[in-house]
Amino acid sequence: QHSDAELVTDKEEALQIDAVYYSEKNSTDAIYGTKVTTALTRFNIDTEKLNTLHWSAAGNEVTYTFKVKKSGNYNLAFHYNNGKKEFDTFETIKIDGQVPFKEMYNYKFNPVSSGYANETLKDSNGNNYNFYFEEGTHTITIKQENEPIMEAYRYALLLQEHITNFQLEITKITGSDVDTERNWKMTKYIPEIPKYLNAYETVIQHIRYLLQDYSEGGNSGAVLAYLDE
């Protein structure tokens, strides 16, 4: 941002970048799609047209090249669907190959319950960020991120690994063909079971705590509630 530069608001100077016309991507996971909806351009009720680009894996990058007619500060807005009804997604935004300031790392896009939403990049107080562009050719890169949820993910993997090993311990005792008519007092064979179960509950609650700020319903949202099952 150049504080003394004009904020360009004239519609004639505004730029609209079509999602399908990217100039570069780093993965084949970013794929074209078609949606029959008036919320997107190239809408035709009779003919399916390529009008979306979708990616979901962390590290995927898509770059667009565009020309700026007038030097100045610009706001950046995205028309998007993050594919998750109750959970945020995260993108890092690069301008001309560089992240312009730290707030553009892991920028949070709120969940979209249905259809598409518009997001103008802004700070926590709702003030739009200004991006300075000189007249000429520039690029914008969008990179999928999962860094904000990686701690919770690592805990989930550790939990999954321990539960799998616990299950194997039980199978060694009962055998693979379980007699449903027989009752087992498993604590006789594995006295640590109460500690295991208490630890599982503690880890699950910590995972919920780590993720609650990214769930539309917070700790009680449907996305996190499944952890209680």
Last residue of a domain, one of 110, 145, 180: 145
Task: Tell me how far apart the terminal alpha carbons of the chain are, to the nearest angstrom.
Answer: 48
In a domain, 77, yes or no: yes
Q: What is the pLDDT along the chain (229 residues), one digit of tens a residue?
A: 566 788 888 877 788 999 999 999 999 989 998 887 878 887 777 777 888 898 988 999 999 999 999 999 999 999 999 877 788 999 999 999 999 999 999 999 998 888 899 999 999 999 999 999 999 999 999 999 999 999 999 999 999 999 999 999 999 998 888 778 888 899 999 999 999 999 999 999 999 999 988 887 777 776 777 777 6
Same domain, 31 and 136: yes
In a domain, 192, yes or no: yes
Residue 130 belongs to domain with CATH number: 2.60.120.260
In a domain, 8, yes or no: no
Confirm if 121 and 130 have CB atoms less than 8 A apart: no
Same domain, 40 and 124: yes
Same domain, 130 and 202: no
Q: Which of these, 101, 119, 110, 132, lies nearest to 3 by C-alpha position? A: 132
Same domain, 102 and 167: no
Same domain, 29 and 107: yes
The domain of 120 spans: 24-145
Same domain, 52 and 162: no
